[in-house]
Structures are given as C-alpha cells and as structure tokens.
C-alpha cells in the first residue's frame, strides 16, 4: 500500500493476539486547538470499571495549539470510557477534557460550560440526535473515487445509492458502523449522501452531554477506520464549490415535555425562542458555514431564520410525522459538519431551557 499508513492485516493480527500479561491499554483522546482530535496510549495495571478508575494525565499543549511553550502542560481529565474496537479485549478508549495548569478549562474545552447547563436543566431531560455528514478524499486530496482531473455525473443517483458508480467507499462506512456499535456508541443509522463520496452517520437520541461525547468518539473512530483504508475524512461544510451539496450536522432536539401528547406547544415555543437568537446560534454553528447555507442544495439562507413542516429548505424543520402526532422533536438544519457539538447542544439548551449565571455559550465559543 502506497499510503502513509502501513496496514498489513495478516502480519498485524499475529501481534494483536498476544496476551497482555494482565495489563490494559487506554487510548486517551481529546479535542485539540483546531477542532481536530489527538490521542495517546498508556498502560493501566488492570481493567478499569468506571471513569473514576482512570488517572488524570497530561500532554504538551504547545504542540497542539493549546498552550504556550513556556507553560505547555495541559491536563487530561477522563470523562467517559468506551470499549476499544481496534485493540479489543479489556482495552479502552478514554475521552478526556483539557484543563490548564491554573485550574481553568482549556480554550477548546467547551464541554465544561455545556455540562453546567445540562446539569442546571436536568429536569427537562433534553435529548439530541445528530446527523454527521462527511466527505471522503483519497491520499492525494481528490474526492475519493472521482475520475482524475474530472467530475462524476451530476447529483441524483448517489443519495442512498446502490451499485457501482453510484456509491463510493462503502467498506469504510461499514467498518466504522461496526466499530461504533462495538465501542458502545448509540449510532442510529448511516446513509450515502447526495454528493458522491459524501456519507452520513447518526448518533442519538442521547441525553444531554452524552451527545457531544459520543459524536466526538464516533468521529475519532471514523478517522481511525479511514487510516486502515488510506482514505482521508473531511468535515468541511462545503468541501467542493459548485453544484455539489455541502455537509452539515442536522441537530434533532426534544425535551421531555415535547415528547408526550400536547408536546407541539413546547416545540413551537422553542422555535419561537430560536427565531430570536438566529445570529447567536449561527455564530457557534461552524466555520465556513456561510459557504454552505446559501438557500440552495437543501439549505436555508444564513441571513434569515425560517421554519416549516417537512421543509428541507428551512432553518428548522418539524418532521411530517411529528406534526401529525402532535408531539416529538424538531430538527435544526443549520449546524455545519465541522461543529463542536458541545457548543451546539449547549446553546440549544441555553436558548430553549434558559440561561444560567456564569455561562454564555456565544462568549464560550471564542474564549481564549
């Protein structure tokens, strides 16, 4: 294989099968200074049974755009643990929050602020389901499987496509789906998207903070699976200009009150509140989202809030079935594929359930 990744499954398997002498490997993962994912592994003396068994750790934040060189230690505080589909056995993946030496949350640790909101509003039992769209590229930077120096036929046959020429890199998607289920991610489905080599997976419904946790881990698993195939993952919201769909992170939302008979009243109230904070929400809904939210390609204009039943050209959509039942959830179609889900779920609970002292998700997004 000519990619930078060596992947010789048969050779590697010999070593992966070796017993570990009772030791467990924990791969700590965290969000870096550019909304990317980093990870490093460490040996634990025995199988951890809960997050409390996992030690705090640290890394060199000056190498990840997270700290200055003269004060470079950033601390990793474990917050969630998952089965490791790559190493298997008792080995685990550990999601960690980043903390500075002076006891403040690191600039890209938006989980801490979002979690305060979820704790304050735990009575609302807010659920999220996020539809993560992404695009696959080959190692040379071409959209995966597209003709060299040219384009495939126009969009039409690719969404949920079946058959050669209509679907690209299904192996990556299939492997990622299994890896997520093995790890314990609440993946609800996958589908091929409108642009060839663009795909989607959905995570949810998930309660509060676990939405952001599981979406980040699912992204990590996708990056790792794609390594094995020498494929690059892009979370850019408009990876190709022109008549090609962009990529989003539609965010589906419900509170306990919205999910039972009479819930439509609360869905409408939430949409009314969202309409008054459109600019604020857009400010945390991802970079380069203006290239995607053009009013074309199943999006609404970035300039104006809109909503509608079954309307995929609106900012917020009430699914047809929800409108018929009179209760359920709504879909915010504005978030871009490159969001930090902690910012998006955080501002959602702030707007729908109310702000709390000391937390402001718009300011949080640009905190240094």
| Contact residues: Mn ion, CB under 5 A | 131, 200, 250
Query: CA gyration radius for the chain?
Result: 21
* Cα separation, 292 vs 296, whole angstroms: 8
| 246 part of the interface to ligand ADP, by CB under 6 A | no
Instruction: Pick the closer one to ligand ADP by CB: 98 or 209.
Output: 209
Instruction: Pick the closer one to ligand ADP by CB: 48 or 328.
Output: 328
We find the least distance from the C-beta atom of residue 218 to Mn ion, in angstroms, to be 14
Instruction: Pick the closer one to Mn ion by CB: 200 or 223.
Output: 200
135 CB contacts (<8 Å, ≥6 apart)?
A: 143, 195, 197, 198, 199, 233, 234, 236, 239, 240, 247
Q: Is 133 exposed, middle or buried (0-12, 13-18, 19+ CB in 10 A)?
A: buried
Instruction: Pick the closer one to Mn ion by CB: 1 or 160.
Output: 160
The two three-digit tokens of residue 70, written as one number: 């003269």
Are 286 and 337 within 8 A, CB to CB? Answer: yes
| 204 part of the interface to ligand ADP, by CB under 6 A | yes
Among 132, 214, 252, 315, binds ligand ADP (CB under 6 A): 252
| 72 part of the interface to ligand ADP, by CB under 6 A | no
- DSSP code of residue 79: E
- In Å, what is the CA distance from 267 to each residue of 124, 159, 179, 343? 13, 29, 34, 21
* Cα separation, 145 vs 316, whole angstroms: 33
Among 111, 329, 338, 347, binds ligand ADP (CB under 6 A): 329
Instruction: Pick the closer one to ligand ADP by CB: 115 or 252.
Output: 252
Q: Helices 210-228 and 111-120 meet at what angle, rounded to 10?
A: 140
User: Given CA atoms 156, 158, 160, 164 in this order, what sign does their dihedral have?
Assistant: positive
Instruction: Pick the closer one to ligand ADP by CB: 99 or 177.
Output: 177
Residue of minimal CB distance from ligand ADP? Answer: 129
Q: 64: left (phi > 0), else alpha (psi -120 to 50), else beta?
A: alpha
Binding window for ligand ADP (CB under 6 A); candidates: 92-100, 121-129, 133-141, 339-347: 121-129
In which element (H, E) is residue 363 found?
helix 361-365
In which element (H, E) is residue 204 found?
strand 198-207
Instruction: Pick the closer one to Mn ion by CB: 110 or 333.
Output: 333
Identify what 337 binds: ligand ADP, Mn ion, none; CB under 5 to 8 Å per kind. none
We find the least distance from the C-beta atom of residue 250 to Mn ion, in angstroms, to be 4
Q: With CB under 6 A, what is the number of residues at the site for ligand ADP?
A: 17
- Binders of ligand ADP among residues 299 to 328 (CB under 6 A) are 328
Site string for ligand ADP, 128-167 (x = CB under 6 A): xx-x------------------------------------
Instruction: Pick the closer one to ligand ADP by CB: 65 or 298.
Output: 298
We find the least distance from the C-beta atom of residue 300 to Mn ion, in angstroms, to be 13
List residues near ligand ADP by CB under 6 A: 127-129, 131, 188-189, 202, 204-205, 250, 252-254, 259, 328-329, 331
């Amino acid at each position: 294989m000519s990619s930078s990744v060596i992947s010789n499954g048969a050779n590697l398997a010999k070593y992966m099968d070796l017993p570990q002498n009772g030791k467990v490997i924990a791969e700590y993962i965290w969000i870096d200074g550019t909304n990317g994912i980093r990870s490093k592994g460490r040996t634990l003396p025995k199988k951890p049974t809960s997050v409390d068994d996992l030690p705090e750790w640290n890394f060199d934040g000056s190498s990840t755009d997270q700290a200055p060189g003269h004060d470079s230690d950033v601390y990793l505080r474990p917050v969630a643990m998952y089965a490791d589909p790559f190493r298997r056995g008792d080995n685990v993946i550990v999601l960690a929050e980043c903390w500075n030496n002076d006891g403040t949350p690191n600039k890209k640790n938006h989980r801490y602020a979002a979690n305060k909101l979820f704790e304050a509003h735990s009575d609302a039992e807010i659920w999220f389901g996020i539809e993560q769209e992404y695009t696959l590229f080959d190692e040379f930077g071409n959209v995966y499987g597209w003709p060299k120096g040219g384009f495939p036929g126009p969009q039409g046959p690719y969404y949920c496509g079946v058959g050669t020429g209509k679907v690209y890199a299904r192996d990556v998607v299939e492997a990622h789906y299994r890896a997520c289920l093995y790890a314990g991610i609440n993946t609800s489905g996958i589908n091929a998207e409108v642009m060839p080599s663009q795909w989607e997976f959905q995570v949810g419904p998930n309660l509060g903070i676990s939405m952001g946790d599981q979406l980040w881990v699912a992204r990590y698993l996708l990056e790792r699976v794609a390594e094995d195939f020498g494929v690059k993952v892009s979370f850019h919201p408009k990876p190709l200009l022109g008549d090609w769909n962009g990529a989003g992170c539609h965010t589906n939302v419900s509170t306990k009150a919205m999910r039972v008979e009479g819930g439509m009243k609360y869905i409408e109230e939430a949409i009314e509140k969202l309409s008054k904070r459109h600019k604020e929400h857009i400010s945390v809904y991802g970079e380069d989202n203006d290239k995607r939210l053009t009013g074309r390609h199943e999006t609404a204009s970035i300039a104006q809030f809109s909503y509608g039943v079954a309307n995929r050209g609106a900012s917020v959509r009430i699914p047809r079935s929800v409108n018929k039942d009179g209760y359920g959830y709504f879909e915010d179609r504005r978030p871009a594929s490159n969001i930090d889900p902690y910012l998006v779920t955080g501002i959602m609970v702030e707007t729908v359930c109310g702000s709390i002292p000391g937390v402001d998700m718009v300011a949080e997004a640009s905190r240094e």
